[in-house]
Structure 1
Amino acid sequence: MIKEFKEFISRGNVIDLAVGVIIGGAFTSIVKSLVDYLINPLIGLFIGGINFSDWVFKVGSATFKFGSFINAVINFLIIAFIVFLLVKAVNKFLIRKKKEDTPVIAPEVQLLEEIRDLLQNQKK
Structure 2
Amino acid sequence: VLILDCVSVDDAQIGDVYAFDFDNVPNIITWAGSAHEVEMLQTLRLVEINGDLPPVHIIGIVPEVIGEDTAFSLSENVKKGAQLMESQAIAYLAQNGITATKIANRDLQEIANLSFRGF
- Return the TM-score normalized by structure 1: 0.23
The structure whose residues are more often strand, as a share, is: 2
User: Which protein has greater RCO, CA pairs closer than 8 Å, 6+ apart?
Assistant: 2
Larger helix percent: 1
